[in-house]
Amino acid sequence: MALCEVQRIVGAGLFPVRILLFADVLNFFHSGGRINPSKNQREPRLACFSAPIWLLCLTFTATLFSNGELIAQTTINSHITSVQFTTSRMSVEAPELGYGARGFNDIPPQVLRINDQFESIWAETGLRPSSEATDYEWCRRVHLDLIGRIPTVEELSSFVQDKADDKRLKLVNRLLYDDFYTEEIARNWTTLWTNLLIGRTGGNGNNSMISRTGMQKYLRDSFARNKPYDQLAKELITATGSAQPDAVDFNGATNFLIDKVNMENAAQATAATSRIFLGVQVQCTQCHNHPFNDWKQQKYWEFNAFFRQVRGFRGATDAESPKLVDQDFRGESGNIDEADLFYELRNGQLKVAYPVFFDGTSLPRSGYVQAINRREKVSELIIQSPWFAQAQVNRIWEHFLGYGFTKPVDDLGSHNPPAYPDLFEFLSEEFRNSGYDLRRLMAWVVLSKPYALSSKTNKGNERDDPLMGLTPAFSHFYLRQMRAEELYESLQIASGAGAQTGSYEEQEARKNRWLQQFATEFGTDEGDETTQFNGTISQVLMMFNGEMVRSATAAEPGSVLAKLFSDNGTKYLDAVDHLFLAGLSRPAKKSERDMAQFLLQARQGDSREALRDVWWVVLNSNQFLFNY
């Protein structure tokens, strides 16, 4: 509610400032007073403020407290307190973007650009786009994709009943910017990024240096604050400190690289960093020039040279946290001022390499961290690279629309040209200009026309099927299964049971245990893995007979069924409708009401028992499992 108020005031032309105090101040002092100038920003960011302004802000905070105009909010984040305030007396020029973004008053122009692009593509290719998704469908979709779960009946109803023209914009604003959803949006993107950075199994092994909890804690703090993406990348690439949350010098960002830097001369750190942040696949070029793309073995090793000044250390005892530490690189021939490394060509010849970025920028060759911190430098070079924004735009586009501008999504380069290059470049440029504001980027996609189309195909667009190897034209929404994590969270919502018990960590641990049954490692040193889950017999068994659906249909206290049962006035068919809304985000159809009547008859008129059957059927239907 507090934020709505803020938004009203903002709407009235007052200036919002949001300051994330203690962590940033700490960071600032930790960095020895260095400021990270952000590139390509239209407006300054708080991180760029000089120390006196910070102090001024702190003082100001106290004053405002006494004025009673302050809206204080304790975020889910345990060591950061974020404070938002608004005042007409503020004279500090405050940033609008990045940390401070507060939603949209109007459809952003980027959305119109996306729409124009696809309308002309559909016209040119003679594709007839599907009709718009219903409010029910769109509401379910946007909940699943932004916050990782289906909507509750209440959320759905209030959206569908809203008659305002801009209700979709309002819902996007609410999911992205309302405090009520901060925890959920952070949880969803933490899940996605944890899987991206350390895999579904990273940190689960007994002998692992990774702290999955530490990784999640760092990401959750970051996504709760909508940390600018360039800052996120920099922190992950350059992190030092302890991996586990209870350590004094805890820095959860270390978990990305901690187990990737030690083995095979940091081969995994090299490959993961370039794949995740640049969309560039270099792993094959470790051993040879790539036959199908531009990557040469030399480039791989020159990039690898950036990751040689770092090492992961285990704690002296099990209780002590592993650490990621910068250390001087002596070079393989022992001359630290010319710290070199050697690699072997396929013909056995040895070649030397020094740190050189893909674009040809080379660093001084000293191996001393004090003289030149190679990770620090490479993080800057990565962020300056045009691929940096592109790789993220591509991934976000794929997240919401099912396919990226390239296939696969993390393989950019001239050997794999993107579809719709103009739009791709435009969005990447806009993303950079926004100060790498991830929520803005998300909003552009979810408010766009392609995202609003039904997944029902028609004669005029059934050929638009990327499974056929064609370039996706996004003339209909592509049906896809929920990810395992989305299914878990959705079942929690649909059953209303179990979700809210225990601390965040306990809830995550429970979810993690549940997910482990579907993740299988391949037995390689790189810890690659698969998820034998979607669409498998194991999944059907889990939904048919597993504990979660069983407890959902058991009408445990607090569950959707228990609430229905407690209200004796609800008619059977209205209760059936409610279950369809709760599970499938739509009311039951005529044929489904008949089905419910059949089950009622089968249960000899016992409506509670019949509703348990209906609920089981709803949760097991293909429709429940899909984002459609």
Judged by the rule CB under 8 A, the positions of this chain that interact with another protein are 263-264, 283-284, 287-288, 291, 407-408, 411, 416, 455-457, 462, 465, 467-470, 478-481, 517, 520-526, 528-530, 532, 535-542, 544-547, 550, 589, 591-592, 594-595, 598-599, 601-602, 613-614, 616-618, 620-623, 625-626, 628
Handedness of CA 562, 564, 565, 566 (dihedral sign): positive
**Distance in Å, CB of 592 to another protein, minimum:** 7
Nearest to another protein of 27, 538 (CB atom): 538
If we measure between CA atoms, which residue out of 194, 137, 189, 212 comes closest to residue 168? Answer: 137
Handedness of CA 478, 483, 486, 491 (dihedral sign): positive
Nearest to another protein of 2, 540 (CB atom): 540
Nearest to another protein of 39, 415 (CB atom): 415
Separation between Cα atoms, residue 236 and residue 218, nearest integer Å: 10
**Distance in Å, CB of 10 to another protein, minimum:** 40
**Distance in Å, CB of 103 to another protein, minimum:** 32
Nearest to another protein of 10, 595 (CB atom): 595
Residue 181 contacts residue 173 (beta carbons within 8 Å): no
Nearest to another protein of 189, 628 (CB atom): 628
Angle at 318 between CA 316 and CA 323, to 5 degrees: 60
CA distances, 308 to each of 267, 284, 388 (Å): 10, 19, 22
Q: How many CB atoms lie under 10 A from the CB of residue 369?
A: 18
Nearest to another protein of 235, 592 (CB atom): 592
* Residue 600 identity (one-letter amino acid): L
3-state secondary structure of 449: helix
**Distance in Å, CB of 395 to another protein, minimum:** 15
Nearest to another protein of 40, 620 (CB atom): 620
If we measure between CA atoms, which residue out of 589, 615, 621 comes closest to residue 603? Answer: 615
Angle at 18 between CA 500 and CA 108, to 5 degrees: 90
**Distance in Å, CB of 346 to another protein, minimum:** 8
Separation between Cα atoms, residue 472 and residue 109, nearest integer Å: 23
**Distance in Å, CB of 7 to another protein, minimum:** 36
Burial class for 551, CB neighbours closer than 10 Å (0-12, 13-18, 19+): middle
**Distance in Å, CB of 537 to another protein, minimum:** 5
Nearest to another protein of 222, 274 (CB atom): 274
**Distance in Å, CB of 621 to another protein, minimum:** 5
Nearest to another protein of 384, 551 (CB atom): 551
**Cβ neighbours of residue 500 closer than 8 Å, sequence gap 6 or more:** none
**Distance in Å, CB of 625 to another protein, minimum:** 7
Residue 110 contacts residue 447 (beta carbons within 8 Å): no
CA count, 13 A, side-chain hemisphere, 17: 23
**Distance in Å, CB of 269 to another protein, minimum:** 15
Burial class for 163, CB neighbours closer than 10 Å (0-12, 13-18, 19+): exposed
DSSP H or E run through 191:
helix 179-198
DSSP output for 98-148: GGG----SS--HHHHHHHHHHHHHHHHHT--PPPBPPHHHHHHHHHHHHHS
**Distance in Å, CB of 326 to another protein, minimum:** 23
Nearest to another protein of 251, 539 (CB atom): 539
